[in-house]
């Protein structure tokens, strides 16, 4: 990763304020890796990270002549990236997909100490798992906690792959509904963001 001096950065920002695509390309080449690494640590998804990074630099380009007011470009870009990432988590929350993201990050959540705010989520997931049939619970645990694929679960449990998919889908729906009855979406966004920082 190349680094710019404060003077070089200021000159490029001033060129960019006049619409210089060359200055934008240079700034993009220097700061994209930093922004990508930051977003990747939060999202853990290459596709989502790439989309957010693209949005960050698009917003930066669109800002136009007002970019000359930016004092620290890296901090500015990271701030945009952070806000876009939180927007992504809020969007997931509104679509009802926050639970899947939380569960996919279950190793992070399970490694947090017992005084963290995710205790309520962990408790609700555990409580909803106890309500499931033994077979659905086992399929869920093999998939989400043990990291087994649908094929591996089907082989281990002597079931068809479609049965595994159906049971897992029903288990997730049940857990999602149980959590939505007992916890609000903003709390889920806060927990996920806190666990990833």
Question: Per-block average pLDDT, block size 10, for the chain (197 residues)?
Answer: 79 86 90 92 85 90 79 88 86 62 49 47 76 89 85 92 90 77 58 52
pLDDT at site 32 = 94
pLDDT at site 106 = 47
Cβ contact 132:174 at 8 Å: yes
Residues 72 and 132 grouped into a single domain: no
pLDDT at site 99 = 55
Residues 17 and 37 grouped into a single domain: yes
- End-of-domain residue from the set 62, 77, 95: 95
How far is it, in rounded angstroms, from Cα 11 to Cα 110?
47
pLDDT at site 97 = 58
- pTM metric for this prediction: 0.52
pLDDT at site 51 = 92
**Distances 61 to 50, 71, 143, 183 between C-alpha atoms, Å:** 16, 16, 42, 39
pLDDT at site 31 = 92
The answer to the question of residue 57 being in a domain is yes
pLDDT at site 14 = 87
- End-of-domain residue from the set 28, 62, 95: 95
- End-of-domain residue from the set 30, 62, 95: 95
Residues 107 and 18 grouped into a single domain: no
Q: What is the pLDDT of residues 34-71, one digit of tens each?
A: 999 999 888 878 888 999 999 998 888 888 777 778 88
Which tokens go with 142? 């093999």
**Domain assignment of residue 53, given as a range:** 6-95
Cβ contact 67:20 at 8 Å: no
89: domain CATH number is 1.10.1740.10
The answer to the question of residue 1 being in a domain is no
Residues 118 and 137 grouped into a single domain: yes
The answer to the question of residue 20 being in a domain is yes
Residues 137 and 168 grouped into a single domain: yes
Number of domains within the chain: 2
Residues 51 and 130 grouped into a single domain: no
Residues 102 and 17 grouped into a single domain: no
The answer to the question of residue 12 being in a domain is yes
Cβ contact 82:52 at 8 Å: no
145: domain CATH number is 1.10.10.10
Residues 79 and 109 grouped into a single domain: no
Residues 136 and 114 grouped into a single domain: yes
Residues 155 and 80 grouped into a single domain: no
Q: Report the 10 Å Cβ neighbour count for 75.
A: 10
């Amino acid at each position: 990763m190349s680094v710019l001096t404060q003077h070089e950065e200021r000159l490029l920002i001033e060129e960019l304020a006049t619409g210089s695509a060359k200055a934008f390309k240079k700034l993009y080449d220097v700061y994209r890796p930093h922004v990508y690494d930051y977003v990747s640590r939060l999202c853990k998804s290459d596709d989502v990270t790439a989309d957010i990074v693209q949005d960050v630099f698009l917003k930066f380009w669109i800002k136009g002549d007002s970019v000359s007011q930016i004092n620290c470009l890296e901090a500015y870009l990271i701030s945009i990236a952070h806000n876009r990432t939180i927007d992504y988590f809020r969007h997931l929350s509104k679509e009802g997909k926050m639970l899947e993201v939380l569960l996919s990050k279950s190793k992070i959540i399970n490694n947090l100490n017992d005084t963290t705010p995710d205790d309520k989520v962990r408790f609700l997931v555990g409580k909803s798992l106890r309500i499931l049939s033994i077979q659905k619970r086992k399929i869920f645990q093999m998939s989400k906690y043990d990291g087994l694929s649908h094929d591996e679960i089907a082989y281990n449990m002597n079931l068809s792959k479609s049965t595994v998919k159906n049971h897992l889908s029903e288990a997730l729906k049940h857990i999602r509904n149980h959590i939505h009855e007992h916890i609000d979406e903003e709390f889920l966004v806060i927990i996920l963001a806190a666990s990833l920082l």
